[in-house]
C-alpha cells in the first residue's frame, strides 16, 4: 500500500509541475517576435503574485481612448528591482508614461510589459520577456 501511495504522490507532482510550466508560456498569448510602444496615462497598477498588472488609458487620433492592460512580473520580483507602490519608482494614477511591451497575438489591448519610461524620463526595465522576471 505505501508503494501505491508514493506512486500517486509522484504522479500528482508531475502533473502539477506540468501545469505550472504551461501557465508560464508567454508565446501562447503574446507575439514574442514583436515589441510595441505606447504613451498614456496610468489608470491603475496592482502589485500581486503571481503577476501584477498595469492599466493605462491611451488617446487615439480620433479622440477616443482605449484602456490597455499589461501583465507584470510578480510583486516579489518587482520589489527586488526597486519597483513597488511607494518610493521613487512608484507609478500613480494620472502619470503620463511610455511603455514598451510584447503585444497580444490576437490584437487585443493587452501586452506583457518590458519597460516603462517614467514622467521624469527615467526608464525602468520591468522584464526581458521572461515570465519569471
* Domain ranges within the chain, ordered by starting residue: 28-125
Q: How would you classify the pairing of strands 36-46 and 96-103?
A: antiparallel
Contact 37, 115 (CB under 8 A): no
CA 73 vs CA 4, 12, 112: distances in Å: 39, 27, 9
CA distance 99 to 49: 21
* Chain segment 25-72, per-residue pLDDT in tens: 676 789 989 999 999 999 999 998 888 999 999 999 999 999 999 999
CA 60 vs CA 13, 44, 82, 105, 108: distances in Å: 48, 19, 32, 21, 15
* Chain segment 99-128, per-residue pLDDT in tens: 999 999 999 999 999 999 999 999 999 886
User: Buried b vs exposed e over 27-54: b needs ≥16 C-beta within 10 Å?
Assistant: eebbbeeeeeebebebbebebeeebbeb
Would the pTM count as exceeding 0.75?
Answer: yes
Q: Which CATH class is domain 28-125?
A: mainly beta
Residue 73: predicted pLDDT = 83
CA 113 vs CA 38, 48, 98, 103: distances in Å: 11, 15, 11, 9
Amino acid at each position: 500500500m505505501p508503494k501505491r501511495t508514493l506512486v500517486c504522490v509522484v504522479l500528482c507532482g508531475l502533473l502539477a509541475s506540468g501545469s505550472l510550466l504551461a501557465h508560464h508560456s508567454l508565446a501562447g498569448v503574446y507575439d514574442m517576435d514583436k515589441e510595441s510602444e505606447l504613451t498614456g496615462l496610468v489608470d491603475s497598477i496592482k502589485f500581486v503574485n503571481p503577476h501584477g498588472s498595469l492599466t493605462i488609458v491611451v488617446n487615439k487620433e480620433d479622440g477616443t481612448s482605449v484602456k490597455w492592460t499589461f501583465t507584470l512580473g510578480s510583486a516579489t520580483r518587482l520589489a527586488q528591482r526597486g519597483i513597488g507602490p511607494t518610493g521613487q519608482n512608484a507609478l500613480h494614477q494620472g502619470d503620463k508614461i511610455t511603455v514598451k511591451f510584447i503585444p497580444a497575438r490576437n490584437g487585443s489591448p493587452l501586452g506583457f510589459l518590458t519597460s516603462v519610461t517614467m514622467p521624469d524620463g527615467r526608464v525602468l526595465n520591468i522584464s526581458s520577456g521572461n515570465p519569471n522576471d
